[in-house]
Each structure stands twice: as structure tokens, then as C-alpha cells.
Amino acid sequence: MIKVSGLEVTYVNKNTRVTALTGVGFTLEKGHTCAIIGPSGCGKSTLLYVLAGLLKHTRGEVNINGEPVRPKRRETALILQDYGLLPWKTALQNTALGLLIRGVPKKESLAAAEESMKELGIWEARDHYPAQLSGGQRQRVAIARSLTLKPDLFLMDEPFSSLDALTREGLQDTLLEFWKKKKSTMVLVTHNIEEAVFLGQKILIFSAGPGRILHTVRNYEMGDRDYRRQPLFYDRCSLVREIIERGRGNSAQ
Amino acid sequence: MHSKPKHVAADYAGAVILLLAVWGLASLSLNKPYFPGPCESFLAFGREMGKGLWAHLLVSTYRVVVSLAAALVPAVALGMVLGRVERLDRYAAPFVYLTYPVPKIIFLPLVITLLGLGDVSKIFLISVIVFFQILVTTRDASRQVNKSMVDSVLSLGAGELQIYRHVIFPACLPKILTALRISLGTAIAVLFFSETLASRGGAGGIGYYLMEAWARLEWDVMFAGIIAMGLMGFFLYLVLEWAEKKLCPWESL
């Protein structure tokens, strides 16, 4: 599904060239999940934007479903931390927006939006504006919107980082259920170790900028709600934490 | 949250009574024929409206509304584009900065010479002045639109026009309407000035009407004109405020 090799991304910021990512390579099979974790500024969001086709890479190859990455791939859904919803549209209008933009007639778009809002338990809040929704509800709307597009690839940039612990776990459970049901490929950028271990079959640990992959942790035992309470989960979390800290020590030297 | 309409109405009635009382007292203590009190003035206003003041009021309102509309459309379109396309703004910014602070009313004699004493010269001058106010506000609002919001809609597959329609325009709309309300004051001031200078015969507008009354030393008629112009401003202001509430419901949450 995703094949990245020799990826380098540089951009110009205030007349200096900044390298955000260098020598990044990984593969992710169809229907698998991958969590990307690393210190702030390690270019993990940059990687996601490249996968979404919103940012051009400088060097290397990025293939999605055997084709070079391109903007506006219809089956790719992107969920952002904040600002994913438009403040001037109600929950229902926000959910239907994806289909409307893709030229689906209004009636059908609204019907599809209704269906996925009901699936996520936010149909009651359809007439509320984002400012009237809780953080958890907002992210549910964002997920509902991406579901209407029937994506095969979910890209998420710290989707739950502004939520409290309980809401966050509830949404992680929801996401897990959806992944199991729809079998779509998921890439999740997070700075939360537990989230990475709970949702990522593969965990890519990035070094501080310029971002490189320090280590890949295989975590194929995930996939159950109870995973959170199992000893293996804690072991994996410690392992990931250790690698991140070691990476930080190296770059500090 | 929601204001109680009855309460608000009482507040406004109180303010009206107080303002009229101040006017009445000032008129009484001055005791001069050129400063009639509210009773006399409103009686004159009622009488004059029946005699032809309404035609002047109509023509003045028409000029203000057409001028605002004529300025609004190009200013909003250009402002949104300049705020979004940095490269274009780099070329346009020097022109805006050099021309914005110039008091364009100084071109009144030239505009009248070129375009005559009729509606066109007045509408043109007001439009040019208001155009800059709305342009600068819209451009700044468009610059401040959150990039992640644009990215999220881009990731849904939106084209450039859809970005303007779903993101940039609604994001700028509240500021555009505020600019319009501020411009309204400017527009009426410029209109008054140009009508006093450049209207001959027929329905010259309230500025013309006022100057005529002044020349004939008909003080109560002059005050009828003052009331007419005041009411026009107040009424248009109310319309704009109502439009903001109707068009931007998310703003008052």
C-alpha cells in the first residue's frame, strides 16, 4: 500500500534551507496500521503531508498503491489535530463537505453524512457548530467526514492530542473498531507512546530534525481493546520510551 | 448568550429619550432661531417628507447603496486573492500602501469635471474611497486564514475555487461586514459633501436639500434634512448588523 524509499524533504524558511526529513524509507501493507512517533520537530507531520500529497518531496520515492503519490487522491482521508472542521459549517455540513467537494449531489452527500454520523454517535449534534461541540465530538465529526469518503488510507496527524485521557481512550477504541471493520490502511502521527502502541502494528520511531527513522518496533499483537491492560503492552511502551530517550541522548551529544 | 429583546428595546428607548432631551435642553437654553428643538424639527420632517424630501432621501440612499455595492464586489474579490497569493500581494502592496492614505476626496473637482454633476461622479468617488477600506480589511483577513483549515479542505480534494468558497470567503465575511459598517459612515460623509457641491435641480439628494434650506434660512427645513440623513445612516447600519447576524450565525455562539 505505502512504499517510501530514500525520502528527503527540504524547504526554505526565511531564506535558510531546512531539511525536515532525510533518508526515510518504510513500507506498509494494505490494511495494516503504522504509528509514527518522535520528538517535536522531527518531521513526522511533514511525512504525513507528503503522503497526503499536500507537500512535494525533494528526493526519493513515495508510492501509494503502486502509483507515485499525487494530490487529491480520492481514497486518502486526512484527519488533523485542530482546524479540520470549518467553524461556519454545522456538524452535518462539515461531515457532508468531503462528498460535496467531490461533486456528489447534495442529497446523497447528506444521506451519507447522516449514516456515518450515526455510526459515530454524533447525529444528535448535527445542527451544532464546531464551537458548540466538545473536543471529542469534533474529532468524531472529522472521522465521520473521512468515513463518508470510503477511504482505503487514513492519515492522522495527532488527532486526539487535545483531548482529555478518557475521551482520548474512547476515540482510540472507536478508531480500532473501525479499522477492524473496514480493514483500511492507517498511518497515525502521535507524540503519545501509549497511543502509538495501542494503534500501531508497526511503530516508526523518528529522531529529532532532520527526521530519520531510528527504529521500527513490530507490534502485531495489538488489535484488542484489552491490549491496554496486558503486560506486553507495558513492555512495548517501555521499549518505545527507551528508544526515544536514547535517540534524544545521541542528538544531545 | 442570547440577549433579551424586551430589555434591549427598553435600553434603546431610554437612550433615544435622553438624546432628544439633551437636544431639547440645548435648543431651549440657546434660544436661537437656527437651532430648533426636536418637536419643531420632527414636525418639519413629517411635513417636508410629504412635500418632496422623500425624493431626496431616496436618491441619497440609492447613491450610498450602489456605491457600497460597486466597491464591495471587486474589493472583496481582489482582497481575498491578494491575501492568499503572496506573490501577487508583493506586487500589489506598494500600490495599496501608497494610495490608501491619500484622501481621495481631493479628487472631487477632477471627478466632477470628468464625470459631470449627476450620480456617476458621486458614486464613483464614494466607491473608490470605500474600495480601499474594504480591500485592506479583506486582504488582512484572508492572510490570517488558518493554513491547516485550508489543508484539511485541500485534502478533501478541493480546487482553488472551492477553497475560496468554503474557507477563505466565510473566514473573511465577518470582517468584510465590519469594514462595510465602518465604510458606511465614510460613504455618507463623502456623499453629503459631494451633494452639497455638485447637485443642481431636481432630486439633488439630502446634501443639496440641506444647503438649499440653509441658504433660504429655513431652519426647521434644514433640521428635517438633518433628521433624514441621520435616519438613513441609522437604517443602513441596522440592515448591515442584521445581515451580519443572518450571514454569520457562528460568530455569535
Task: Give the nearest partner residue to A97 out of B166, B173, B248, using CB atoms.
Answer: B166
Distance from CA of A19 to the nearest CA of B (A): 21
User: What's the pLDDT score for residue B127?
Assistant: 95
Closest-CA residue of B relative to A147 is B156
How far is Cα B209 from Cα B216, in angstroms, rounded to an integer?
11
**Maximum C-alpha span of chain A:** 60
Q: Is B153 on the interface with A (CB under 8 A)?
A: yes
Express as a percent the part of chain A with pLDDT over 90: 55
Q: Which three cell numbers stand for residue A193?
A: 507512546
Mean pLDDT of all residues belonging to chain B: 91
CB contact under 8 A, A80 and B151: yes
Query: Which amino acid appears at position A115 of this protein?
Result: E
Confidence of residue A250 (pLDDT cuts 50, 70, 90): low
User: What's the pLDDT score for residue A94?
Assistant: 95
Distance from CA of A211 to the nearest CA of B (A): 21
Confidence of residue A251 (pLDDT cuts 50, 70, 90): low
Phi and psi torsions of A18, nearest 5°: -110, 130
Confidence of residue B1 (pLDDT cuts 50, 70, 90): very low
Picking from A142, A153, A88, A149, the residue whose alpha carbon sits closest to that of residue A120 is A142
B146 neighbourhood in chain A, CB within 8 Å: 83
Q: Is B2 on the interface with A (CB under 8 A)?
A: no
3-state secondary structure of B183: helix
Closest-CA residue of B relative to A81 is B148
B interface test, pick of A86, A127, A141 with most B CB neighbours within 10 Å:
A86
CB-CB contact of A154 with A176 (8 Å): no
Per the listing, cell 431652519 goes with B219
CA B251 to chain centre: 22
Q: Is B170 on the interface with A (CB under 8 A)?
A: yes
User: What's the pLDDT score for residue B198?
Assistant: 66
Judged against a pLDDT cut of 50, whether residue A47 lies above it is answered with: yes
**Which helix (H) or strand (E) is A67 found in, with range?**
strand A67-68
Phi and psi torsions of A61, nearest 5°: -125, 140
How far is Cα B201 from Cα B117, in angstroms, rounded to an integer?
11
A88 neighbourhood in chain B, CB within 8 Å: 170-171, 173, 248, 250
Average pLDDT for A184-208: 93
For B202: left if phi > 0, alpha if psi spans -120 to 50, otherwise beta; the answer is: left
User: What's the pLDDT score for residue A63?
Assistant: 92
Q: Which residues pair with A11 in a beta bridge?
A: A18
B250 neighbourhood in chain A, CB within 8 Å: 87-88, 129-131
Residue ranges of domains in chain A: 83-150
Q: What is the pLDDT of residues A113-158, one digit of tens each?
A: 999 999 888 999 999 999 999 988 998 999 899 889 888 999 999 8
User: What's the pLDDT score for residue A182?
Assistant: 85
Judged against a pLDDT cut of 50, whether residue A253 lies above it is answered with: no
Residues in contact with A90: Cβ distance below 8 Å, sequence separation at least 6, in sequence order: A126, A127, A128, A129
ipTM of this complex? 0.80
User: What's the pLDDT score for residue B188?
Assistant: 94
User: What's the pLDDT score for residue A178?
Assistant: 87
Per the listing, cell 449514516 goes with A115
Q: How far apart are the first and last CA of chain A?
A: 37
User: What's the pLDDT score for residue A71?
Assistant: 82
Distance from CA of B148 to the nearest CA of A (A): 6
How far is Cα B243 from Cα B245, in angstroms, rounded to an integer?
5
Q: How far apart are the first and last CA of chain B?
A: 7
Residues in contact with B27: Cβ distance below 8 Å, sequence separation at least 6, in sequence order: B35, B36, B37, B38
B interface test, pick of A101, A127, A158 with most B CB neighbours within 10 Å:
A101
User: What's the pLDDT score for residue B200?
Assistant: 62
CB contact under 8 A, B146 and A83: yes
CB contact under 8 A, A98 and B250: no
Judged against a pLDDT cut of 90, whether residue B128 lies above it is answered with: yes
User: What's the pLDDT score for residue A132?
Assistant: 94
Task: Give the nearest partner residue to A129 out of B151, B153, B250, using CB atoms.
Answer: B250
Average pLDDT for B59-83: 96
Judged against a pLDDT cut of 90, whether residue A15 lies above it is answered with: no
CB contact under 8 A, A78 and B158: no
Phi and psi torsions of B205, nearest 5°: 100, 165
A77 neighbourhood in chain B, CB within 8 Å: 155
User: What's the pLDDT score for residue A83?
Assistant: 65
Beta strands per DSSP E along A115-242: 153-157, 185-190, 202-206, 213-218
Question: Domains in chain B, please, with CATH?
Answer: 52-252 (1.10.3720.10)
**What pTM does this model have?**
0.83
User: What's the pLDDT score for residue B252?
Assistant: 85
Judged against a pLDDT cut of 80, whether residue B199 lies above it is answered with: no
Q: How many other C-beta atoms lie within 10 A of the C-beta of residue A200?
A: 26
CB contact under 8 A, B151 and A49: yes
CB contact under 8 A, B148 and A84: yes
Q: What is the pLDDT of residues B12-50, one digit of tens each?
A: 899 999 999 999 999 999 999 899 999 999 999 999 998
